[in-house]
Chains A and B, each alone.
Chain A
């Protein structure tokens, strides 16, 4: 066995604090190492050529590169050794940058650690076995989770690319948050007017199959071959018959149902269609308010329905769809303002959230676009906006900026003046974040043309005084406290991950951060991929972002899906679990612990029961290998013997 070791300077990244020449010199003394050299940039073309030349010249059969993290260049070098005629798994990477040179300044210690890392990698590479991928067919259908603007964009782009799309939306209509907005910044164009055509496109596209009021129940399978169980929640209305005429909604005697589309600004009927432009425009019954369910008798809607679509006996239905790729665009949630006790959120009717205010501004909202105070339905003359309500506040558990509040506050202030020219708006802000195209001009217009008074400081308390709400805060520019007697207070409450986001992530086997936003594969270079191949991200599920960014990401995710689906076959990663049938005792502990259900029971001829790995389902996580008591199941490329060789090399040195 002849091992070649290439030690990279990475410019000064490694050579700055590691004596690379000494590492090479010491490496030459390791038994089995036939060649070792240090080089400026091993990942460069001449660097790779050097590896290929050395393989030929010195007849090397195993290669170690001591450089950066394998997450950066493992694939690069695997291809290099493969081009030189070796199996791509006859290659190991020792991370002497992230693990050594970048973490300490002591040259001596770093050099020693680098040598140890190389020794371990050499020991491992000498145990490596050649591995070969197998290829499997790809299902070219796409699942999009979430029918907001990002999800719709992804669905439309994938469908336009010629692929069947299954679009699953949790609520009864597509449209998401954008469908609730009145106008959009910075152009003040009507939100539903620009979103409506997209919603109609989704409904009319031959290749898009829409499951509204449905949720993803279970995700099984792997990239290219997913089986998705979708729960179609009971609407108690047969949507194949419902024409969306709305007569049921008109006659329904139960008038105090919570209207989640309007965020509770006004009650709705127990049977309702969320909004006039809803897609699909179908009615659904809310059983917590419907008299047929709460009192056991009523049946008005069933009597009135011209198509006899009402079915009180309806139950949830589970359907299975098979897809090859998944786009997750599950959107965001909003901070419960009851967490902001000092702002009186939830206690005072005239302290509302910005999305509720948006519904008051909206012509199709419950007040037909007339701004009124929730307490007495009078027009407010003084409106105070509080930005960063929860955002950038660690004590609330929201350390991040919610991204688009500064912009919609400016928009809402402008609209307030438009609706009520004699009104005065105030904005409490920490700083104005308006870096987008035309954004800063827009916030300036709110101040300069619309006379909105911006007060730099935070609000400490909001309390009632007669019919008014007193907003007490600091003006840090003047260095004083201010009190404003407002008729209405609008809180820009923080954007949070969508309710149920972690649970969905667990189903999809994708990671999420401490705030439950989904984690992209690389924050700069792989912004829509996840670490689970075949699952892509779009919109606010990945982090708060405004409409243009969400739409852009929707299209980006679709582009990634389309490039993946342009192949008829995908190659699997051979670094997966494998069972040694001779050693397997058939306790089947691995079957029970496998997080991916990738292991099944198999009866051999003669009746011996053993475990069997389904190659394409195995994700190579290694849970089974630590579970197996007799070491019969081994993760290829990370077998016990390979890891023990590394450990022994480290312990003996």
Chain B
């Protein structure tokens, strides 16, 4: 990832759009933050590094009616594609600046590695991260502090773009290996899995950060978790209600989740929410041979009414 090239590309695009969304350095060396550039000098703040953890595509539906250029990694680009599949954005209003990506960091994992000492600087060389705190300097392989999605990344290159910055990369590992973690978890007994999720989701504080960060949650503040009509759940602080909320969120994303990982990234309680959605995506692949966010021409299976599903036998048309 090369910041100079990215800035150059963004400056070229800027005159034809209302805003270019990129990322810039944040409040400390470890954090980046979204940057909404409307002037060429704003673009000079743009960075391009494994610190760029945000899925900037999330902002697109809320900028309806504006001409927007957005910088996306391979994984983020699937969100753009899914928006197009669902008709949530118009292609002609969006300029996609694609940046091939070999992996990003997980802020939580880095902080854990350095025992939450204040970070003084962070630098990247090939696939090694060098972190300096006031007490030590540590060299860590990037994949050890990357989010789970990077370790099996199948889409390092944006699937949709108008401008591509940088060289295309190879996927990491085989496509089959993507769901290995889910398959492994499924070898556990039903009771074990139930116990695991009750315990894990029991940590939830119902801050709804996962929902708010989710690019594909269309309801947001109209969420069924916060309404009495219909009254699906109460505000009671117990595992059942928490589980109901997370299950509803996961089901709402069936055949829609592009596994961008924003829900996990923003969770203050470090709940592996992506696992639930991955499991459903695995089922969607098996049942409908559908992977969300790949082809803008495709129709998500839950967005059509079909009397006969190809792989679900109900009754046969002769």
Contact = CB atoms under 8 A, between A and B. Distances in A.
Interface stretch (A81-89, A215-223, A533-541, A628-636): A628-636
A133 interface: no
A635 to B, nearest CB: 11
Given A502-B317, A583-B227, A644-B230, A594 B303 contact: no
Q: Size range of the interface on A?
A: 20 to 34
B121 interface: no
Nearest to A643: B230
| Main SS at interface, chain B | loop
A632 B222 contact: yes
Interface stretch (A3-11, A54-62, A107-115, A585-593): A585-593
A497 B302 contact: no
Interface in B255-313: 299, 302-305, 307
A493 interface: no
B318 A630 contact: no
Interface of B: 86-88, 218-220, 222-224, 227, 229-232, 252, 299, 302-305, 307, 315, 317-318
A477 B257 CA distance: 69
Given A592-B303, A631-B232, A639-B230, A587 B315 contact: no
B127 to A, nearest CB: 39
Contact of B302 (A584, A627, A630): A627
A640 B230 contact: yes
Interface string A501-512: 111001000000
A557 to B, nearest CB: 24
Given A629-B224, A630-B224, A644-B230, A592 B252 contact: no
A629 B219 CA distance: 7
Interface string A572-598: 000000001001110111001111000
Contacts of A585: 218-220, 222
Nearest to B229: A641
Contact of B317 (A503, A580, A629, A640): A503
A470 interface: no
A631 B218 contact: no
A516 interface: yes
B224 A631 contact: yes
Given A497-B318, A502-B318, A631-B230, A587 B86 contact: yes
A516 B302 CA distance: 27
Contacts of A644: 230-232
A629 B229 contact: no
A634 B224 CA distance: 13
30 contacts: A501-B318, A502-B317, A502-B318, A580-B229, A585-B218, A585-B219, A585-B220, A585-B222, A587-B88, A587-B218, A587-B219, A588-B87, A589-B86, A592-B299, A592-B303, A592-B304, A592-B305, A593-B302, A593-B305, A623-B305, A629-B252, A630-B223, A631-B229, A631-B230, A632-B222, A639-B230, A640-B230, A644-B230, A644-B231, A644-B232
Nearest to B249: A629
Contacts of B302: 589, 593, 627
Contacts of B219: 585, 587, 629-630
A650 to B, nearest CB: 16
B230 A641 contact: yes
A187 interface: no
Contacts of A630: 218-219, 222-224, 227
Contacts of B232: 631, 640, 644
A580 B227 CA distance: 13
A220 B221 CA distance: 36
A586 to B, nearest CB: 8
Nearest to B307: A506
Nearest to A499: B318
A514 interface: yes
What 9 A-B pairs are tightest by C-beta distance, nearest first? Answer: A640-B230, A587-B218, A630-B219, A631-B230, A595-B305, A502-B317, A630-B222, A629-B252, A592-B303
B304 A593 contact: yes
A632 B302 CA distance: 17
Contacts of B315: 514
Nearest to A609: B64
Contacts of B252: 629
A580 B304 CA distance: 22
Contacts of A497: 318
Interface in A485-526: 497, 501-503, 506, 514, 516
A627 B222 CA distance: 15
Nearest to B228: A641
Contacts of A631: 224, 227, 229-230, 232
Nearest to B88: A587
Contacts of A502: 317-318
Contacts of B222: 583-585, 630, 632
Nearest to A641: B230
A502 B220 CA distance: 41
B15 to A, nearest CB: 27
A335 to B, nearest CB: 12
A645 to B, nearest CB: 9
Interface in A602-653: 623, 627, 629-632, 634, 639-641, 644
Contacts of A640: 230-232
Contacts of A503: 317
A594 B304 CA distance: 8
B223 A516 contact: no
Given A592-B304, A627-B302, A516 B224 contact: no
A652 to B, nearest CB: 14
A195 B299 CA distance: 50
Nearest to A511: B315
Contact of A589 (B229, B231, B303): B303
Contacts of B224: 629-631
Contacts of B317: 502-503, 506
Nearest to A627: B302
A425 B218 CA distance: 74
A629 B317 CA distance: 31
Given A585-B222, A587-B218, A639-B230, A594 B318 contact: no
A494 B86 CA distance: 47
Given A503-B317, A631-B230, A644-B231, 12 more contacts: A502-B317, A584-B222, A588-B87, A589-B86, A593-B303, A623-B305, A629-B218, A630-B223, A631-B227, A640-B231, A641-B229, A641-B231
A560 B318 CA distance: 30
A12 B223 CA distance: 50
Contacts of A632: 222
A38 B309 CA distance: 47
Contacts of A623: 305
B173 to A, nearest CB: 33
Nearest to A583: B222
A516 B318 contact: yes
Contacts of A501: 318
A514 B317 CA distance: 9
A634 B230 contact: yes
B62 to A, nearest CB: 12
A612 to B, nearest CB: 17
A444 B318 CA distance: 38
A503 B219 CA distance: 36
A631 B227 CA distance: 9
Interface in A424-475: none
B218 to A, nearest CB: 4
A603 to B, nearest CB: 12
A517 to B, nearest CB: 11
A505 to B, nearest CB: 9
A640 B228 CA distance: 11
B306 to A, nearest CB: 9
B236 to A, nearest CB: 14
